[in-house]
Amino acid sequence: SGGAITSYLDALSTGSTATSGAGMASYADAISANCDADQPKEECATAITSYLDALSSGSLQPASDPAAAAAITSYLDNISGVPATAPPAASSSKAVTSYLGALSSGEVAPPSPEAVGSYIDALSSGSVDTPSSVGAITSYLDGLSTVSTATSGAGISSYADAISVDCNADRPKQECATTITSYLDALSSGASQPASEPGAAAAITSYLDSIAGVPATAPPTASSAPAVTSYLDAMSSGEVASPPAEAVGSYLDDISSGSVATPSSGGAITSYLDALSTAPTTSTSVAKNPPALAKASTPSGTGMASYADAISANCDVDRPNQECATAITSYLDALYSGASQQASEPAAAAAITSYLDTISGVPPSAPLSGSSSKAVTSYLGALASGEVAPPPSEAVGSYLDALSSGSVATPSSVGAITSYLDGLTPGSVATSAPGSSAGSSSLDALQEQPNSSSSECSAPASGGSYLDNL
């Protein structure tokens, strides 16, 4: 097929110049001989796994044996029903090349022969689609390693089948959301386990990567695979509750529109979905805040999505932390004043979580307990309820710097965040009655401190952040 040719040529470009020598063609020969429709799939799985182990150990590079990549691609395309005349986009070629490169670099670990055999069986039966990205492969194989007691039985492939059918660019996203939610409910109730149906994780990953615009040749770090695996594990363990289909649908819409980035961790998914389940702020919420904060405006003035857009644009590892701090502070002010609500803009919570996890070194595949997700959600809820007051942007900037340097750990609770910020902003806990000045923001606390006669330390009348007045 065209994919087999592409895999061969791509493999030649993935590493240093291929070296010749005795045995160099043996892996390709073994795969070609054993990965045949007339041979048991277990023999093919063993041959492929031997090659993957060699790549992972560093004893071989993809460029040293490009025929092996071509043989694997040809076999996967054949058993999954890809016509020989199909365009390269329909082939597993790009996914295979990226996966082999990730193995060679040590980015992913080699799977067991049993896992490879299961994947081959799933492709043959049609319960898993031809992989369109490296994430589709890693999600399946990672899913098999999450629980040691995978069970078999009637209907085991039904969730994966349903997700593959309904999560399609030609189908309404709400159908996909309903199907994914059914699977999440099964995980939450214990009726299914990630390891029982790795094809479901692969199908979800493939769909998220597709609507988020992740290229088929992107490395595993660009895929949603680690985040999906982490989230499904947390769902199965009871660490998070299954969301309603409407929340999942909203998440799919925001990823598709680009207002939410491809999730880099399970926490980024959880923060978004948890924000949607937060109770709306009461109609009297503005009364508890000073007039200056009640006037806080959205960063772009274009509506509800602007806070998330501003945070996503400014909270980037290539930008100064203070720019991110200013964007986050604008959102915190809006929550506190009642100008925005968590449920109105879940993408903002997801963007904050993703950034905190990134700068504090949380691996994409880390369990949800290692993410800042729960702490961020709780803190935003406390701000919206008036339980705490928003900090000035320089306090937020200091917190981001501390997370980046490692002097402060990834927050595991709301108290971890408030303790740091309260230490920098005296009087930030809003304990007063609604409408009173004693419960005003930390901006007012700074303004009332002795020796703060300079106009540079007063709260700006516009309700912006502290640094806006400098």
Q: What is the pLDDT of residues 112-143, one digit of tens each?
A: 888 899 899 889 888 888 888 888 898 888 76
What pLDDT score does 282 carry?
Answer: 39
- Type of residue numbered 91: S
What pLDDT score does 321 carry?
Answer: 80
On whether the CB atoms of residues 66 and 8 are closer than 8 A, the answer is: yes
What pLDDT score does 288 carry?
Answer: 39
Q: What is the mean pLDDT of the chain?
A: 77
What pLDDT score does 99 carry?
Answer: 92
Cα torsion at 369, 371, 375, 376 (round to 10°)? -150
Which of 394, 364, 360 lies closest to 376, judged by CA?
360
Q: How far apart are CA 32 and CA 36, in angstroms?
A: 7
The SS3 assignment for 49 reads helix
- Helical axes 346-359 vs 266-276, angle rounded to 10°: 150
Report whether pLDDT(354) > 70: yes
Scanning the structure block, which residue is given the tokens 């995978």? 150
Q: What is the pLDDT of residues 300-320, one digit of tens each?
A: 333 434 688 889 888 988 877
Which of 71, 59, 141 lies closest to 108, judged by CA?
141
Model-level pTM? 0.60
The SS3 assignment for 21 reads coil
What pLDDT score does 318 carry?
Answer: 81
Average pLDDT of the segment spanning 67-71: 89
What pLDDT score does 380 carry?
Answer: 94
pLDDT band at 279 (very low <50, low <70, confident <90, very high): very low
> Is the dihedral angle over the CA atoms 321, 324, 330, 333 positive or is it negative?
negative
Q: How far apart are CA 107 and CA 291, in angstroms?
A: 52
What pLDDT score does 126 carry?
Answer: 85
Total number of residues shown for the chain: 470
- Type of residue numbered 117: G
Least confident of 112-116, 156-160, 258-262, 301-305: 301-305
Percentage with pLDDT > 90 across the chain: 34
List CB contacts of 414: < 8 A, sequence separation 6 or more. Answer: 375, 378, 379, 382
pLDDT band at 84 (very low <50, low <70, confident <90, very high): confident
% helix, strand, coil for the chain, step of 5:
60, 0, 40
Q: How far apart are CA 470 and CA 397, in angstroms?
A: 15
Q: How far apart are CA 184 and CA 189, in angstroms?
A: 9
On whether the CB atoms of residues 164 and 203 are closer than 8 A, the answer is: yes
Q: What is the pLDDT of residues 409-461, one digit of tens each?
A: 999 999 999 999 988 865 444 433 333 333 333 333 333 333 433 333 333 33
Q: What is the DSSP string of 60-93?
A: --GGG-HHHHHHHHHHHHHHTT--TTS-GGGSSH
Cα torsion at 48, 50, 52, 54 (round to 10°)? -150
